[in-house]
Chains A and B, each alone.
Chain A
Amino acid sequence: MEHAVPPQYKRAMITELGHFALILAFLVAIVQTVVPLIGAANRWNGWMVFAEPAAITQFILTAFSFGALVWAFMASDFSLRIVVENSHSAKPMLYKISGTWGNHEGSMLLWVLIVTIFGAMAAVFGGGLPPTLKARVLSVQAAIAVAFFAFILFTSNPFDRLPVPPFDGRDLNPLLQDPGLAFHPPFLYLGYVGLSMAFSFAVAALIEGRVDAAWGRWVRPWTLAAWIFLTIGIALGSWWAYYELGWGGFWFWDPVENASFMPWLLAAALLHSAIVVEKREALKSWTILLAIIAFGFSLIGTFIVRSGLLTSVHAFANDPERGVFILFILVIFIGGALTLFAARAQAMEAKGVFGMVSRESALILNNILLAVSCFVVFFGTLWPMVAEMAFDRKLSVGAPFFNAAFTPFMIALGIVLPVGAMLPWKRGRLGRAAWSLRYAFVLAVALAILVWVMQTGRSALGPVGLFLGAWITFGAIVDLWSRTGRKGNLARLFRLPGADWGKAVAHTGLGVTMFAIAGLTAWEVEDIRVAQPGQPFEVGQFTLTLQDVRRVQGPNYFSTMADVIVEKNGRQITTLHPEKRDYPVARMPTTEAAIDYRFLRDLYVVIGDQQADGGWVMRTYIKPLANWIWGGCILMALGGVLSLSDRRFRVAAGARKTPTSGVPAE
């Protein structure tokens, strides 16, 4: 009888094992927090090296637990509460899997999984780290994991069972059933949690009482990786909003978006200040502070969004258990780290000296602009809550405020960036850097004037954006060129270190994105009408004809799909199929815009309701440079990857490894 176990019991076993592994990982993390820390304080080698196998074990256990949850979603195990609430047996497999993190409990498990991945990576690849620093970094990383494990196990357990499993699930929100959004949270979390490594390094360095150039070199790759992931995650989310929400908006200054944007801004600042630590052994205490605050914003971002605090003050009160836990974690980690910082920061004496005009001072300006712009976003995001609680004013802070208050910082950043990037370390001359950029400047101004003349009488936003984008891009080219020596040796261009290329490509990406946002905002064309089938109408240079509207059945939805023929200069260039979908299980309709993606512009068509006269509401947009927004983001991420691939990171790690491995630790 024993060998004939019915499949549903096996399934139950795996889920239980996943739950059990999660509890075990929690316990391992507790031990990993305590033992290496004591070991490092007393220079007990055995206690310190314990951190490495512990970090790896913790990762394997968490990965198993997460795998079990994914499996429960894949197999549609409706005895689990979150599977019932977020899945359905008819849902496509990709969205069954992505449904794992499309809910509070599952996304928290994903978060802690990434914490353990980073911890395990530091354990495996951190061979060059001094043993005490490594032990302390892993201990702090484990402490973060402990907090999250506790949060999951005590308030948001994904392995919660239902006493009576229903026959089928309630389906995932159809808006989230989308490839762009399936991968948006994992990337965002990789970014948020990547900053936990910078945090762990910062706290470990404070405990250690020592920050040197090598520390800067160790922190930078983690920060860079976090920033790359955040860039991709934010871009994916923005792209998703563009094509899914039905009118092509790509950024709303929503609290949830701001929550991911603030860590991005601070990670960008941290990247740059860590360069100063690495190259010049200055800005040490500021960099440590920035690392702490950047992760603080990650915590605020994830948790406050999760608790609903920013959506509404009342949602917070509805779920006090999670909310209080969140505050507790924030206070312990950020408060603790800042206290430690206050006590120890004095010890970080700066070594490098530099003049008023130098690369160092330019990077300080970069940090000021990025940090203050982040502060503006933070203040604006929290203001409705503050105003309601403190002044009893119920008000909104939306996109128009942020556009007005935030944009000047980015314009200032764009203007000073190329000059700052050209300045030499230690001491430079402003006039000299500016002079070497004269062609870039003239070309950028000429382009902007040309466009200004061509567009006749429309807002200055487009030309200004073009100037900034061209200025940054040409500046990056001049910067690269100047590194090839006086003769301009092209072959040398390709032998430049990855970091130089990374800098140029990432800065160009920023320029492209700035230009694209300005261009799209300034030059968009919109057409709203009731279209009669078979009657062509014109939008810009395009002639559109609503050919037919059909009913189509999808895997878990019904669709009303239109065939729209698009012609330009009398020639058909494409047929678009905008849809309205109805998801019967989730009882939710969605619009699926049809987009003709082109290099210079997108044609964006949305179908609405049928009117009494038989016509259909149709919305047509010509969106210039839409692709460039995300193209710029991809360039920024690519720049990050190029910089990460710089040999010098590895050489430094390797060079350090050889002597330390020969020396006994005691």
Chain B
Amino acid sequence: MKRLIMILLLIASPVVAVQPDEVLDDPALEARAREISTGLRCLVCRNESIDESNAELARDLRILLRERLVAGDTDQEAVEFIVDRYGEYVLLKPTTTGTNLMLWLAGPIMLLIAAGMGWSFLRKRSQHQQAAHTDALTEEEQERLRQILKD
């Protein structure tokens, strides 16, 4: 609980997130900065982006990011600049490299497995049905019926 209070304390200082003096004059550049900020983690907070956080460090990072953008960095270069200094821990959206592929592929693979299992279950069920059902005859069955009636 003490830990939680400490964490919440960081969340809840009275000023919130981006300050007026940080905002860039160029709206397009500022929009890019905001977009990137939402994907960068405030390192001293619990699961907050620097865009939302009010911690001093988040403010420093926001300013650093804007400096890089003003200096002419592309979005990717600016992010790489920060990752080089703070490590991949700063990325809220993990990269798709190396072992992280497992994270990104886990969902799709599980979906394929589940869909495959569902499909095979359904096929078994519906074949079952064709065997058990009497009111709806398939063409084969009707053919057989005709054969039987003919004999």
Q: Which residues of A contact B (CB under 8 A)?
A: 85-86, 103-104, 173, 175, 245-247, 249, 252-255, 282, 308, 311, 315, 350, 353-356, 360-361, 364-365, 368, 371-373, 375-376, 379-380, 383, 387, 390-391, 393-401, 404-405, 409, 427, 528-530, 580, 586, 588-591, 606, 608-609, 617, 619
Whether the pair A394, B88 counts as a contact (CB closer than 8 A) is yes
**Given A355-B126, A356-B126, also A529-B93 (CB < 8 A):** no
> Of B7, B39, B99, which contacts A400 at CB under 8 A?
B39
Q: A356-B126, A376-B106 are in contact. Are A245 and B12 (CB under 8 A)?
A: yes
Q: Is the CB of A355 within 8 A of B107?
A: no
Q: Which of A104, A247, A249, A395 contacts B94 (CB 8 A)?
A: A395
- The chain B residue with its CB closest to the CB of A408 is B107
Residues on A with beta carbons closer than 8 Å to the beta carbon of B125: 282, 350, 353-354, 360
Extra contacts, 4 of them, besides A364-B121, A393-B88 (Cβ < 8 A), are A353-B125, A356-B122, A395-B100, A589-B14
Q: How long is the Cα–Cα vector from A529 to B19 in the complex, in angstroms?
A: 8
Number of A-B contacts (CB under 8 A): 156
A371 x B114 contact (CB < 8 A): yes
Is B90 located at the chain interface by the 8 A CB criterion? yes
Complex: how many Å from CA A391 to CA B1?
Answer: 30
Q: In angstroms, how far is the closest chain A Cβ from the Cβ of B111?
A: 5
Distance of A311 Cα from B132 Cα, bound (Å): 54
Which of B5, B19, B49 meets A398, CB within 8 Å?
A: B49
Whether B49 pairs with A617 at a CB distance below 8 angstroms is no
A356-B126, A528-B18 given; A247·B88 CB < 8 A: no
Offer 19 A-B interface pairs, CB within 8 angstroms, sorted by A. Answer: A103-B1, A247-B17, A247-B52, A353-B133, A354-B129, A356-B122, A361-B118, A365-B118, A371-B114, A372-B111, A387-B103, A396-B90, A397-B94, A400-B39, A404-B93, A409-B107, A529-B20, A608-B14, A617-B19
What residues make up the interface of B, taking CB atoms closer than 8 Å to A? 1, 3-5, 7-9, 11-20, 23, 38-39, 41, 46-49, 52, 87-94, 98-100, 103-104, 106-107, 110-111, 114-115, 118, 121-123, 125-126, 128-129, 132-133, 136
- Nearest CB on B from A40, distance (A): 32
From residue B83, how far is it (CB to closest CB) to chain A in Å? Answer: 11
Would B1 and A85 count as touching, CB distance under 8 A?
yes
Q: Cβ of A393: which chain B residues have Cβ within 8 Å of it? A: 88, 98-100
Least Cβ distance of A357 to chain B in Å?
Answer: 9
B14 lies within 8 A of A591 (CB):
yes
Query: Within the complex, what minimum Cβ distance (angstroms) separates B130 from chain A?
Result: 9
CB distance from B55 to the nearest CB of A (A): 14
Residues of chain A lying within 8 A (CB to CB) of residue B111:
368, 372, 409
A658 to B105, CA, bound (A): 54
Cα distance, A409 to B88, chains bound together (Å): 27
Of the candidates B23, B107, B129, which one forms a contact with A372 in the assembled complex, judged by CB atoms under 8 Å apart?
B107
**Are the CB atoms of B92 and A397 closer together than 8 Å?**
yes
Q: Report whether over half of chain A's contact residues are helix, strand or loop; otherwise say mixed.
A: mixed
Complex Cα distance, B70 from A547, in Å, reads 36
Query: Cβ of A528 and Cβ of B20 under 8 Å apart?
Result: yes
Given A103-B1, A379-B106; A364-B89 close (CB under 8 Å): no
Residues in A whose Cβ lies below 8 Å from that of B20: 528-530, 617
Knowing A85-B1, A247-B17, A379-B103, the reply to whether A173 touches B91 (Cβ < 8 A) is no
**Distance between A158 CB and nearest chain B CB, rounded to angstroms:** 12
The 8 closest A-B pairs by CB, nearest first: A398-B92, A400-B93, A353-B129, A376-B107, A589-B14, A368-B114, A246-B16, A379-B106
Of A249, A254, A405, A589, which one neighbours B12 at CB under 8 angstroms? A589
Among residues of B, the one whose C-beta sits closest to the C-beta of A619 is B16
A528 partner residues in chain B, CB cutoff 8 A: 18-20, 23
Distance in Å from the Cβ of B82 to the closest Cβ of chain A?
13
Contact A396 B107 (CB under 8 A): no
Asked whether A401 and B129 contact (CB < 8 A) given A372-B110, A393-B99, the answer is no
Q: State whether B128 touches A353 (Cβ < 8 A).
A: yes
Report whether B103 and A383 are in contact in the complex, using a CB–CB cutoff of 8 Å: yes
Residues of B within 8 A of A255 (CB): 47
Given contacts A247-B52, A364-B121, A404-B93, are A591 and B3 in contact (CB under 8 A)?
A: no
Task: Choose among A85, A353, A371 the residue with the greatest number of B CB atoms under 10 Å from its CB.
Answer: A353
- Is the CB–CB distance between B93 and A398 below 8 Å? yes
Residues on the A chain within 8 Å of B118, using CB? 361, 364-365, 368
A356 vs B12: C-alpha distance when bound (angstroms):
54
CB-CB under 8 A for A173 and B8, given A354-B125, A375-B110, A383-B94? yes
